[in-house]
Chains A and B, each alone.
Chain A
Amino acid sequence: MAVVNYPPEGFYKNIKFRRKDFEHIILWTLANNEDCQWSDFTQEPLSFTTSTLSKYLNLLKSKSFVENYTRGHYKITSEGRKRFHEISSTHGEKKKLNYPPDVITRRRNYEDWILWMVYNNDICKWSNFLEPPLAINQSSLSKKINILLNKEFVLRENKQYRITSAGKIEYSNMLHNYDLDRQSILDEESKRIDEITRKTIKFFDDYNVEDENVQFRYLATILELDYDRVKSMLTNETDFKKIILYISINHPDQFPNYISLKEFANSYGINQSKLEYYIDEIVENHIYPIKIFTLKPSTGITYYFQEYGKVESMLRTITENHITKFTYLNRLFSRTFDAFTIEKTVLEDTCGYLFDNGLRESLRIFLPSYINYLAYKFEAKAELKETYDKLDAIIWQNMIDIFQSRSPEDLEYQFMGQSEVNYQLDTVLLELLEPYYKENLETQNKACQDLIDDKEYSKALESIESTIKSYENDRVFTIVKIVVLCYLNRYKDALVLLNEELILPPKNDRLLPLSYFLTVFSSLTIGDFNRALDLANDFIWNFPEHALSHATRGLALAYNLIYKFDDEKAKEAYGLKDLDKAIALEPFNSNKALLIMLKSRVLLELKKYEESIELIDKTISIVPNKVDLYLFKTVILMYFNEYPDLLDLLDEMLEKFPKIEKNLKMKKASVYKLLGDLDAGFKVVNELLERNPDDKELRSFKAYWYQYMDKREEALKIFEELIEIEQDNGEYYDSYGEILMNYEEYEKAVEQFQKAIKLSSSGWFIYQTYIKLGICFKELGNYELAIEYLRKGKEYTNKCFCDNELKKKWLIIADIFLTDIESA
């Protein structure tokens, strides 16, 4: 923002104004500003009375010296400029110049001299610098003036020089380099702030900016950004103010409130493209030396916060504190740095306090680049003289590597699991929402529902997106999209959409229950149990008679029992009461069955075999053709080692669900193995393969059977053939390495695992590969690499979306070998 250039005090203070003086002051002010408003003359420092101002402005307008180009806005005309120079020349003869004090002239910094002159004298001529007392030589003066002109601190007009707004800011900065007394510095700065404040009050009045927080943020920003820098491109200064206002309104403190570019452009009368362009210039392209950070909780929504503002200062303090703490503790216990732990602790300390919980995901995405930024700042800190400087440098020296090294591979992997620790929930429970959207979906896009039923989720996503385009206002399709995103494990994207869904609708909205359920579901997958439980409680409060609200809290508590997000809570509540209430209220039979299945899952977790089996049988009797219910029963029987019963069940399923024959028979073969009957299992595998000779999964499965039967060559041969067919499929190299491990050929196994990692760094199995690689290095006596890969394997295991028991197994395996190495 530009501050108004006023004539030097001598022009208007302590003199008895004559007509010529009033004309001169008005023309001086207009000549030295692009335009002026009525209030620029009536307020301090000029303080014209309304009648005087009216009289002289009318007079100047009548002579065409001044143009009233829009209501309350005035500009000088070319005729007016001539008149101004005419009056100035007569005034100039009498004028006495102000010169810099000794403290400034003592140093021969001519740029500072010139800046001081143009600030403290409204206009300076070339000769004023050449002549005593300054007596700057021609060449230096020429050079220094050019520098100031290039930096746009000084403006040349008719062979005269005057200060610009940017120059005024620079002048304030310059004063800090001199041993001026504190009060003079503050006085100078106060003058500038007064000018800006005066103009800001008017702007707030004109645009009804009443929120004090917004007012404060606006003022804090505009004091640091001078309008002159963009003046050549952005001719309307009010537009510039509006752009700053937009940034000030959309601050994280305002979440979930938000004004979009479109709404703002319409409400405040600014072109949307212009608004968008200059925000980008300020925030992304850094045309000003201030840093503005952004949080993007969902597509098209951006919140802004300034460096050294309240939010950033607090975030910085918390982040620095955790990084310092981890550095010290890691050094103490010889541990390596863990970027995820730092992020997690910063998130825990800031969300719900400094930032609204709804911004958690966007903050998580923001943190790595922010920590990098802080690290660069510390690295750039020049000297390491003091102890605390050295400590800072040590603490931050590795941060850039750590957080940059996360980038490509980790981000890709995060797609499998977008959080530092991911928790798999049974996605069949998403079907609880089907009765609420299925009719709409089938009417408008039956193909999409079919794709969901066939578990073709990627195609379903494409399909629903086209429906959303056609039915923009029907939010039910957005809900379907969120459901599909959940099926695809894209919970982060789901949460982004859900943030909007939870904000916008009224309390009695028919889709709100679905949003609640999906938000709780998605929050649990990233381990945000507290948010999930809070929302579930809200949901019950808002919809006490809705089956889904009780089901949702039941779900949150059930998965807390399974994953122990909150140990204390897991000891006191399992969600059974909520599930019972949900079952009682549930109008749809299919949903009743799913809820009973969830209850059975809780009982399995509580090791209540009989009750768990009884419930799942009850569910199957309600919905006899639901394969997921049978599959869950196989899980119960497997857990309790009831293999004969399991074989019977698999046979029953083979009759009922011939479509999944392959899957069921592979399970059957595995049960035979557990029973110790390898031949029976092998027979099942062979039968399957005979019917599907090109099925690579089955061929791979057969290779494992050869391994169980101690037929090394046969097992390896199958994987060699599969690798020949698909040379870039890392999974086959992983399996090949596994067979080699079985025969204690660890060096060769390492080669295969390394190929697997190279080819499929984001493969679903890669966490296992890292752990196997670690074990191989342990067996080869390379404990350092063994520890590195076992730890990396653990980290990836935590991140992956996979069956909880499988996850636990691999984590335990990694831990056992780590313990073994450490105790050796």
Chain B
Amino acid sequence: MNFSLEVETVKKKIKIKVTVIGDGSVGKTSLIQKFTQGIFKTDYIKTIGAQLTNYETEIDGYRIELLFWDIAGQDNFHFLRPSFYRSSKAAIIVYSLEENDLGKRSFDHITTWHKDVKQFCGEIPIVLFANKVDLINEQSLDKTKIQKLVKELNFLGYYITSAKTGQGLDDAFDALSEEIRR
């Protein structure tokens, strides 16, 4: 083993905390699981408190460790928000495209989540994931509402995703990694 090479590699490893937020049951945990482990579970298992997942990738010779802080959407740990958000270098806000109360509500709450990020993290890149596209007819999806919100809130971008099929995930996470590297 070339010891100096190993030290060199270790030097280049960068840890990045990414906060993942959004209403309960919009699929935050499933998205991270699909992206990091390639798996998807049909049963809804509620995230309790929060969940940490790490994912290592390499960009331009740098080893980047993404640490996803998946914060439960429903929990009453209001007072922990500063600690949960602290040191985040990027944020993902997830909502559901489902055409029901839950989907509609999760879209309405995007502004609340965005406000939280701004309050505790300042100016960090934020991307919007419109999830569960597999549950709707994508052709009939009116994207103007989303695009308008993305512009208003100055999101880095938005991605139509499906944790079930994996649609849009690679593009979304690649874009996020690229932004972080910059």
Residues of A within 8 A of B (CB): 607, 609, 639-641, 643-644, 670, 673-676, 704, 707-708, 738-739, 741-742, 744, 772, 775, 778-779, 805, 808-810, 812-813, 816-817, 819-820, 823
How far is A708 from B45 in the complex, measured between Cα atoms in Å? Answer: 26
- Whole-angstrom distance between the Cβ of B19 and the nearest chain A Cβ: 12
Bound state CA distance, A708 and B79, in angstroms? 9
Indicate which residue in B46, B51, B105 contacts A675 across the interface (CB closer than 8 Å).
B105
CB distance from A253 to the nearest CB of B (A): 46
Q: Does B24 make an interface contact (CB < 8 A)?
A: yes
CA distance A389 to B108 in the complex (A): 70
Is B181 interfacial (CB 8 A cutoff)? no
Task: Using A675-B105, A738-B79 as known contacts, say yes or no to A607 and B45 having CB atoms under 8 A apart.
Answer: yes
- Report the nearest B residue to A673, measured CB to CB: B76
Are the C-beta atoms of A808 and B49 separated by less than 8 Å? Answer: yes
A742 and B25 contact, Cβ closer than 8 Å, known pairs A639-B46, A640-B44, A813-B77 = no
Contact: A812 with B48, CB < 8 Å?
Answer: yes
Give Cα A805–Cα B72 distance, bound, in whole angstroms: 13
Please indicate the chain B residues that have their CB under 8 angstroms from the CB of A675 in the complex.
Answer: 105
Residues of A within 8 A of B44 (CB): 607, 609, 640
Residue from B79, B101, B105 with most neighbouring chain A CB atoms (10 Å): B79
B83 touches A778 (CB 8 A): yes
**Given contacts A741-B80, A816-B49, A644 and B75 within 8 Å (CB-CB):** no
Which 5 residue pairs of A and B lie closest in terms of their CB atoms, listed nearest first?
A812-B49, A742-B79, A607-B43, A809-B49, A741-B79
B52 part of interface (Cβ distance < 8 Å): yes
Residues A813 and B80 in contact, CB atoms below 8 Å apart: yes
B-chain residues with CB within 8 Å of residue A817 when the two chains form the complex: 83
Complex contact B78–A708 (CB within 8 A): yes
CB distance from B163 to the nearest CB of A (A): 16
Q: Is the CB of A779 within 8 A of B83?
A: yes
Which one of A673, A741, A823 lies within 8 Å of B15 (CB-CB)? Answer: A823
B57 at the A/B interface (Cβ < 8 Å)? Answer: no
B78 touches A707 (CB 8 A): yes
User: 1/0 per position for B64-83, CB-CB distance to A under 8 A?
Assistant: 00010100001111111111
Does residue B180 face the partner (Cβ distance < 8 Å to A)?
Answer: no
- Once the chains bind, are B48 and A744 in contact (CB under 8 Å)? no
Question: Does B50 interact with chain A (Cβ within 8 Å)?
Answer: yes
Expressed in whole angstroms, the minimum distance between the Cβ of B119 and any Cβ of chain A is 9
Specify which chain A residues have a CB less than 8 angstroms from the CB of B80 in the assembled complex: 741, 775, 813
Q: Tell me which residues from 17 to 56 in chain B have a Cβ below 8 Å from any Cβ of chain A.
A: 23-25, 43-46, 48-52
Please name the residue on chain B nearest to A676 by beta carbon: B109
A227–B129 Cα distance when bound, in Å, is 87
Whether B78 lies near A742 (C-beta < 8 A) is yes
Inter-subunit contact B48/A808 (CB<8 Å): yes
Q: How far is the CA of A820 from the CA of B19 in the complex (A)?
A: 13
Chain A residues positioned under 8 Å from B46 (CB to CB) = 639
Q: When chains A and B are docked, how far (Å) is the Cα of A76 from the Cα of B25?
A: 96
Q: B139 to chain A: which residues have CB within 8 Å?
A: none
Question: Using Cβ atoms and an 8 Å threshold, which residues of chain B touch A641?
Answer: 23-25, 74, 102
Contacts of B112 in A (CB 8 A): 676
Given A607-B43, A640-B25, A676-B108, A707-B48 contact (CB < 8 Å): no
A772 proximity list for chain B (CB < 8 A) = 79
List the A side residues contacting B74 at CB < 8 Å: 641, 674
List, sorted by A's number, 29 A–B pairs whose CB atoms are closer than 8 Å.
A607-B43, A639-B46, A641-B24, A641-B25, A641-B102, A643-B101, A670-B76, A673-B76, A674-B74, A676-B105, A676-B108, A707-B79, A708-B78, A741-B79, A741-B80, A741-B82, A741-B83, A742-B78, A742-B81, A778-B83, A779-B83, A779-B86, A808-B48, A812-B51, A813-B77, A816-B50, A819-B52, A823-B15, A823-B67
State in angstroms the CA–CA spacing of A643 and B44 once bound together.
16
A641 vs B73: C-alpha distance in the bound complex, in angstroms? 10
By beta carbon, the residue of chain B nearest A775 is B83
Closest to A638 in B: B74
Shortest Cβ distance from A783 into chain B, in angstroms? 14
Contacts A676-B108, A816-B52 supplied; 8 other A-B pairs, CB < 8 Å: A640-B25, A641-B74, A675-B105, A739-B79, A742-B82, A778-B83, A812-B49, A819-B52
Q: In whole Å, how far is B25's beta carbon from the nearest beta carbon of chain A?
A: 5
- Chain B residues with Cβ below 8 Å from A744 are 82
Which residue of B76, B83, B86 has the most chain A CB atoms within 10 A of its CB atom? B83
Query: What residues on A are CB-neighbors of B67 within 8 Å?
Result: 823
In the complex, residue of chain A having the shortest beta-carbon distance to the beta carbon of B54 = A823
Nearest A-chain residue to B75, judged by Cβ: A809
Q: How far is the CA of A673 from the CA of B44 in the complex (A)?
A: 22
Residues of A within 8 A of B25 (CB): 640-641
**Given the complex, which residues of A lie within 8 Å of B105, measured CB to CB?**
675-676
A639 to B15, CA, bound (A): 33
* CB-nearest residue of chain A to B108: A676
CB distance from A773 to the nearest CB of B (A): 13
Contacts of A813 on B, CB cut-off 8 Å? Answer: 49-50, 77, 80
B residues less than 8 Å from A673 (CB atoms)? 76
A744 vs B80: C-alpha distance when bound (angstroms): 9
CA distance A677 to B108 in the complex (A): 11
Question: Closest CB-CB distance, A156 to chain B, in whole Å?
Answer: 79
Cα separation A817 to B105 with both chains bound (whole Å): 30
In the bound complex, CA of A817 to CA of B49 (Å): 12
Chain B residues whose CB sits within 8 angstroms of the CB of A674 once the complex forms: 24, 74
| List of B residues within 8 angstroms of A816 by Cβ | 49-50, 52, 69
Among B51, B69, B101, find the residue whose CB has the most chain A CB atoms closer than 10 A. Answer: B101
B38 to chain A, nearest CB (A): 21
Question: In the docked arrangement, what's the CA distance between A676 and B101, Å?
Answer: 13
Q: Nearest-CB distance from A385 to chain B (Å)? A: 44
B176–chain A nearest beta-carbon distance, Å: 20
Would you give the shortest CB distance from A789 to chain B, in whole angstroms?
A: 14
Q: Which residues of chain A are within 8 angstroms of B52 by Cβ–Cβ distance?
A: 816, 819-820
Residues of the B chain whose Cβ atoms lie less than 8 Å from the Cβ of A644: 101
What is the bound-complex CA distance between A707 and B76, given in angstroms?
Answer: 11
> What's the least CB distance linking A147 to chain B, in Å?
71
CA distance A704 to B23 in the complex (A): 20
Smallest CB gap from B101: residue in A: A644
In the assembled complex, the Cα of A643 lies from the Cα of B69 at a distance in Å of 25
Minimum C-beta distance from A511 to chain B (A):
40
CB distance from A357 to the nearest CB of B (A): 33
A227 to B167, CA, bound (A): 89
Chain B residues positioned under 8 Å from A643 (CB to CB): 101
CB distance from B118 to the nearest CB of A (A): 14
A739 to B112, CA, bound (A): 20
Give the residues in chain B near A676, CB-CB below 8 Å: 105, 108-109, 112
Bound together, the chains give a CA A704 to CA B44 distance in angstroms of 29
Q: Which residues of A contact B24 (CB under 8 A)?
A: 641, 674
Question: With A and B bound together, what is the CA distance between A772 and B78 in angstroms?
Answer: 12
Report how far A29 CA is from B22 CA in the complex, Å.
97
Q: Shortest Cβ distance from A719 into chain B, in angstroms? A: 13
The chain A residue sitting closest to B109, CB to CB, is: A676
CB distance from B43 to the nearest CB of A (A): 4
In the complex, which residue of chain A has the Cβ closest to the Cβ of B83? A775
Closest CB in chain A relative to B82 CB, distance in Å: 5
Enumerate chain B residues within 8 angstroms of A639, measured Cβ to Cβ. 46
Interchain CA distance A819-B50 in the complex, whole Å: 12
Residues in chain B near residue A607, CB distance under 8 A: 43-45
Bound CA–CA A819/B15 (angstroms): 14
Q: Which of B60-116 contact A (CB under 8 A)?
A: 67, 69, 74-83, 86, 101-102, 105, 108-109, 112
